[in-house]
Amino acid sequence: MTASGMTYSHSRLETFESCPLKFKFQYVDKVDIPRRDSVEAFLGSRVHDALEELYRGVLMGKIWSKAEFLKFYESSGKEKHDEIFIVNRQYTIDDYYPPGREGALRLLGALSPL
pLDDT tens-digit series, residues 71-101: 998 888 777 778 888 888 899 888 988 998 8
With 60 as the cut, is the pLDDT of residue 3 above it? Answer: no
With 80 as the cut, is the pLDDT of residue 114 above it? Answer: no
Q: Convert the chain into a string of H (helix), E (strand) and C (coil).
A: CCCCCCCCCHHHHHHHHHCHHHHHHHHHCCCCCCCCCEHHHHHHHHHHHHHHHHHHHHHCCCCCCHHHHHHHHHHCCHHHHHHCECCCCCCCHHHHHHHHHHHHHHHHHHHCCC
pTM for the complete prediction?
0.64
